Chains A and B, each alone.
Chain A
Amino acid sequence: KNEVEQSPQNLTAQEGEFITINCSYSVGISALHWLQQHPGGGIVSLFMLSSGKKKHGRLIATINIQEKHSSLHITASHPRDSAVYICAVGHYGGSQGNLIFGKGTKLSVKP
Chain B
Amino acid sequence: DTEVTQTPKHLVMGMTNKKSLKCEQHMGHRAMYWYKQKAKKPPELMFVYSYEKLSINESVPSRFSPECPNSSLLNLHLHALQPEDSALYLCASSQDLGSNQPQHFGDGTRLSIL
Where the two chains meet, the residues of A that have a C-beta atom closer than 8 Å to any C-beta of B are: 29-31, 33, 35, 40-45, 48, 50, 86, 88-91, 94-99, 101-104
In the bound complex, how far is the Cα of B50 from the Cα of A30, in angstroms?
A: 19
In the bound complex, how far is the Cα of B58 from the Cα of A98, in angstroms?
A: 10
With A33-B103, A96-B98, A97-B98 known as contacts, the answer to whether A41 contacts B108 (CB < 8 A) is yes
With A42-B2, A96-B55 known as contacts, the answer to whether A50 contacts B99 (CB < 8 A) is no
- Shortest Cβ distance from residue A89 to the other chain B in the assembled complex, whole angstroms: 8
With A43-B43, A45-B104 known as contacts, the answer to whether A98 contacts B110 (CB < 8 A) is no
**4 A-B pairs with least C-beta separation:** A90-B99, A101-B42, A42-B107, A43-B105
- Shortest Cβ distance from residue A88 to the other chain B in the assembled complex, whole angstroms: 8
- Shortest Cβ distance from residue B95 to the other chain A in the assembled complex, whole angstroms: 11
- Shortest Cβ distance from residue A47 to the other chain B in the assembled complex, whole angstroms: 9
Contact call B99/A30, Cβ cutoff below 8 A: yes
List the count of A-B residue pairs having beta carbons below 8 Å apart: 79
Which secondary structure dominates where chain A touches chain B? strand
With A96-B99, A97-B98, A103-B42 known as contacts, the answer to whether A45 contacts B56 (CB < 8 A) is no
Does chain A have a CB within 8 A of B101? yes
What string of 1s and 0s marks CB contacts (under 8 Å) between B41-82 and chain A? 111010010100001101000000000000000000000000
Contact call A50/B105, Cβ cutoff below 8 A: no
- Which residues of B are found within 8 Å of A43, using beta-carbon distances? 43, 90, 92, 105
CB closest chain-B residue, reference A46: B102
Residue in B43, B58, B97, B100 whose CB lies within 8 Å of A50: B100
